[in-house]
Structure 1
Amino acid sequence: MSIEQQEVTGRVRSAGAHGRLRSTRRGLVALAAAVAVVTLAACTAVPTSGSVQRGQTAPADAEPDVDFIAEGPEQDADPQQILLGFIDAATSTRDNYAVAREYLTPAFSASWHPDENVTVDVAAERRLTPAADDRVELSLVPVGDVDEEGVYREIDSRDPITQEYAFERVDGQWRIADAPAGLIVEDSAFTDVFSAHALSFFDPTWSTLVPELRWFPVRSSTTTRIVSALLAGPSEWLASSVVSAFPADARLSTDTVPTTGEVADVSLAVDAADLDDEAYSRMLLQLQASLEGVTTVGSIAMTVNGVDVDATAAVPASTRVDSRAAVVSEGALGFLAAGELSPIEGVPSSIGVEKPRSVAISADRSVVAVGTDAGTVAFRSGERSVVDDRKGLVDPVVDNSGFVWSVPESHPELMVVAGAAGVVPVRSSWPEGATVRSAELARDSSRLLVLLDYDNGTTSLMVAGVQRDAAGVPSGLSDFVELSTQQGEGIDATWVDSRTVAELIEGPQGETLTQLQEVGGRSSSIVSFPGARSIVGGNGANQLRALTDDGRLAVRRQAGWQFTASKVDVLATQMGTPE
């Protein structure tokens, strides 16, 4: 068993020409606690026995209580010092970046739009070069960026880019007169300055919420930014795969969304206000889910065209799965717990397939798709049929409408879905020269995750929106959005939850690598289970499971991977649980 080790490190950040203090409420508490510990150490011994006691845990979705105390320009600073001070000061969003604007000429300050673009970079890689007395070139290595809609994009290339800054004297002091749009934020400080929020839309059946992650500066206007982005709708790649209860012309009737006593007052204007209670309930649910991570918001008061909305938020369908592993062991399919295999209600325990390679179970358990080297077999309410007898298929997936997805690994453009009425093709535009290693639907059935390999030795994790016709039959995919690209060979990928995916790859040196990736967010590497060849998500990162070729099954825990069973042939994918 591989144990994941945690290392506590201190980080020293260069503040350039202008030192920067970081003040947090938690930091002040930690400082007070540290002083108390030092004081108590003079008269108290450290206990050497007794159990470890668990302290209070901060909520995972809480916004960081962080405020960067920025410093204004120093007297007689040269252009390079002014530039470094400006970059540091721009990490403080207080009063619409008031301190950062002190580094700009009045004319440029009036036209500077800090939210237009954010470049996330490695501070240690920054290089300044004077291009003239009044110009400075900045070389930096971006690791990500955020556009004006709050969409984050991780950048895998480590090639530097160059930006040019122009300076003018104002009352004898150098100030920035022209600069690239937006902000530069160092990677280690990014999640202190920006917070992630999941805009929530519906799948086309209005039953399940589909999140889209956006990143906004941590400041008092965050609630307004979130609501405005929600009303503007999803990104292009997702727009044809989800629906929103808000009318297309819905807009804020005021400039802001004020919060009083933890109640967010959302005032909307709608031209065609023929909305019923069901629409209002769905709108409230979208607002509640989208504002969930804002700690200053406890409830929502909504008005439409000046009229208070008296409605209760709708209740979405759950996308949680059974916490037990669904497996095939010695030819039987069932839930595995404490070493015992128990039947899955509504699912045949004997799939009657020799050497199954994969199993996928629909949320209502009416459809089971089985992948084999000879093709794809489906069970519909217990009835067995061969849905695709082509060779070289990726492990099949099943959606919550009962369609079985079948993708040829070398010719993904020939992808089909099989329903009760037959087989239909799915329009898609796949990256040229890609070989598909894995394909898996999110449990909302609105997004498809794929892991692709290329001849140049790279592997890429991508996601696309699922498009359906009026009858709900899958008809196409949106353009793919790249989540990450690495050197190596793809092994498997899975949905960890509605916002996070995991990929398993074989690195350039033959090592097994596992990475968690937020869809629309940041990635992190975790310790791999040795020999893992497939991974399946559960209900969060600590229910991620891995299976080796020799049948060893493990589940990820906080401290690493815990071995749970042997003699497992297939680790099945669950799409949910019956309502």
Structure 2
Amino acid sequence: MPDNGGLQAVEASQRPDSQVRVFAMPPRENAGPVSIVEGFLEALTSDDPQYTMARKYLTEKAAKGWHPEERTTVLTDGPSTGPASRPSAGEEGRTFRLSGHQVAFVDQQQAYRPDGTSYSKTLHLVQENGPKGKQWRIDGLPQGVVLGQSDFQRIYQSINKYYFALDEESSGGGAQSGGESGPGSTSRQKRLVADPVYVRQWIDPLTQTVRALLAGPTHWLNPVVTTTFPSDTRLRKGVKSLAPDDENNLKVPLNAQADHVGQARCKEMAAQLLFSLRDVTSANVSQIELERSNGSQLCVLSESDAEALVEPRTSGPSDDQYFLDDKGRLVQMSGASRTAKDPERVPGPLGDGEQRMRSVAVSRDETQAAAVSNSGSALFVGSLVAGASLGDPVVRSNAKSEKDRLTTPSWDGLGDLWVADRDPKKPRLLMFGRGMADKIHEADVSGLDGGRIEAVKVSADGVRIALLVAEKGKTTLRIGRVERDLGPDGKLTVSVDELRAAAPQMEEVTAMSWAGGSRLVVVGRESGGVQQLSYVQCDGSAPTGQALPGLTGVKEIAASEDDRLPLVAHSDDGIVRLPPGLPWQTVLKDGTAPVYPG
């Protein structure tokens, strides 16, 4: 390295890093059974779009019947190949066993599904006649692809497809993939919901993302979302690949199913596409032009028009962060500054210290806040306006022990307030419509299996809820789907369905917060490990390349859906925050309960 000379500023490149491409090799002539098996498994890890080279290891019949897109199985360290079984008398061929510990699989809808079971499949080989004599080839194999976790993370990329949330009147029956909305209904459906899937990041991810969006929402999310694309809308026949032009305009030719869509609906279709393509780093699309089946223009939508059309809600209209000071009063500070400033008490009863609080949640419009009393027995909702009174609690817990009373509350993007009562005699998850005591609903939670809810965080879109569930001495993170059904009598019923693990690699999760449309930040530890902070996807996968600096004794964590704002935590050092590109900073030594709006 130079030890003298001047310094010169250089502009950092914004281009994505170059990727080392992996190419598969064809089978060697007269290769033995072991070489054929190893070559085939290696070919599965290549960047071959159609797995053309992998098919060369198969017999002609097996190659035609193999569908690699049907399932991608992810193993911890890749498949282990057992010794070839000895053929019995009169039997031809060799059998190899593939085994390993399964982490997850990606289904035909490209959805990631954690599955920590043992994997055991077989490959059968025979000698097939070829131009150069008999050659060993695979004639029996499982459908799909099997990979090690490191290869999966190199080959695949998580992207969010976006669909519109159903309103209460239509959320009971479920939205069919590609289903049409009723007349005039699309104008009310402004909340976009992220639906994470995995695409092969070096095999035309833009076109893969468009096809995945058109195919409709994944099965898990389908009951609570809808799409403005008419049923069976696909790319026009013959379209193999899509790419933006020099002005970042992307033309998307559709089939005849979309030919007669009106302008308002067409623009919402284009908005779904624009938001879905944001995660595709190679896309850089700023405008969508949809085309009819005859090539004529259906509609055009720019990125700025899409923002105005759907206006996806994040934490709130400002970047403020909130927490409780050493006297249990609600204080706030600005999150935009890269340096910590002294927090200020909020106006209203929660800032005045009229009632000492131990946890708090600020509504996403920042007009009111919900707080749990210091004993954990009462939930109050107060206005953030000077001179307002606190009033009576909206609910009380009758549990004898403080640790069995109310959890920290949480607001969703609809303005509804959620809290769990951990009373062993009457555990319940409660939702207050617009935070009002006279609009209380007890949510039916399926799949708890005797576990107890220890913490609640509802996503900004209002259709997913993150729960910390204590069961058998462990606390794990689970994600449930929120369904709101309005009956013929006008009565609203609320349920949380199909709970699934969101951090299966962690043995214990102690704190969590939503950090985007489909991402959470969690505090926990793996088996035999120490406490760590990390990001996880709501589908249970772990994003790569997003490591967080360590922090000791983290008790609570808060994140914004806007990743430009800092993380805020309650740790052994008090209230601290992590601005982008900077280390952790101490804000207040004696504060607790940090939150962003929501």
Q: Does 1:302 align with 2:290?
A: yes
Give the Å deviation of 1:473: 5.9
Task: Map 1:176-575 to 2 at 5 A.
Answer: 176-204=138-166, 206-218=189-201, 220=203, 222-256=205-239, 258-262=241-245, 263-269=249-255, 271=257, 275-294=261-280, 295-296=282-283, 298=285, 299-306=287-294, 307-312=296-301, 313-315=305-307, 316-317=310-311, 318-321=313-316, 322-329=318-325, 330-336=327-333, 338-342=340-344, 349-350=351-352, 352-354=354-356, 356-372=357-373, 373-380=376-383, 382=388, 384=390, 385-390=392-397, 391=399, 392-409=405-422, 414-419=428-433, 420=436, 421-455=438-472, 457-469=473-485, 475-485=494-504, 488-505=507-524, 511-520=530-539, 521-522=541-542, 526-538=548-560, 539-540=562-563, 543-548=566-571, 551-555=574-578, 558=581, 560-575=583-598
Q: Please, which moves more after superposition, 85-94 or 266-275?
A: 266-275
Q: Please, which moves more after superposition, 416-425 or 509-518?
A: 509-518
- Residue 339 to residue 292, structure 1, CA distance change in 2 (3 Å): closer
Tell me the equivalent position of 1:27.
Answer: none
Task: Map 1:121-132 to 2 at 5 A.
Answer: 121-123=75-77, 126-132=80-86
- Residue 407 to residue 184, structure 1, CA distance change in 2 (3 Å): same
- Alignment partner for residue 100 of structure 1, among 47, 54, 59? 54
Give the 3-state SS of the residue equivalent to 2:574 in structure 1: coil
Q: Cα deviations across residues 384-421 of structure 1 (Å, max 9, x unaligned)?
A: 34111014122111223332212123669622212334
Give the Å deviation of 1:488: 4.5
Q: Does 1:112 align with 2:71?
A: no
- Residue 466 to residue 164, structure 1, CA distance change in 2 (3 Å): same
Unaligned runs of at least 5 residues, structure 1: 1-44
Counterparts of 1:53 and 1:347, CA distance in 2: 51
Tell me the equivalent position of 1:142.
Answer: 102
Counterparts of 2:474 and 2:137, CA distance in 1: 44
Report if aligned partners of 2:258, 2:292 keep a CA contact under 8 Å in 1.
no
Structure 2: which amino acid aligns with 1:177?
D
Give the Å deviation of 1:71: 0.7
Report if aligned partners of 2:447, 2:497 keep a CA contact under 8 Å in 1.
no
Report if aligned partners of 2:532, 2:550 keep a CA contact under 8 Å in 1.
yes
Give the Å deviation of 1:249: 4.1
Give the Å deviation of 1:240: 2.6
Give the 3-state SS of the residue equivalent to 1:240 in structure 2: helix
- Residue 274 to residue 461, structure 1, CA distance change in 2 (3 Å): same
Give the 3-state SS of the residue equivalent to 2:273 in structure 1: helix
Structure 1: which amino acid aligns with 2:363?
S
Counterparts of 2:460 and 2:349, CA distance in 1: 18
Counterparts of 2:370 and 2:516, CA distance in 1: 21
Give the Å deviation of 1:472: 11
- Residue 124 to residue 309, structure 1, CA distance change in 2 (3 Å): closer
RMSD: 3.2
- Alignment partner for residue 164 of structure 1, among 114, 117, 122? 122
Counterparts of 2:50 and 2:507, CA distance in 1: 44
Structure 2: which amino acid aligns with 1:386?
P
Counterparts of 1:64 and 1:150, CA distance in 2: 25
Corresponding residue pairs, total: 525
- Residue 516 to residue 568, structure 1, CA distance change in 2 (3 Å): same
Give the Å deviation of 1:95: 4.9
- Residue 465 to residue 253, structure 1, CA distance change in 2 (3 Å): same
Counterparts of 1:76 and 1:209, CA distance in 2: 56
Tell me the equivalent position of 1:76.
Answer: 30
Structure 2: which amino acid aligns with 1:105?
T
Give the Å deviation of 1:124: 6.7
Q: Cα deviations across residues 86-134 of structure 1 (Å, max 9, x unaligned)?
A: 1111222435111111111111111111111112224477243212351
Q: Does 1:153 align with 2:113?
A: yes
Tell me the equivalent position of 1:28.
Answer: none
Q: Cα deviations across residues 523-550 of structure 1 (Å, max 9, x unaligned)?
A: 5764442121111113328722210367
Tell me the equivalent position of 1:36.
Answer: none
Structure 2: which amino acid aligns with 1:301?
E
Give the Å deviation of 1:207: 2.7
Give the Å deviation of 1:509: 6.7
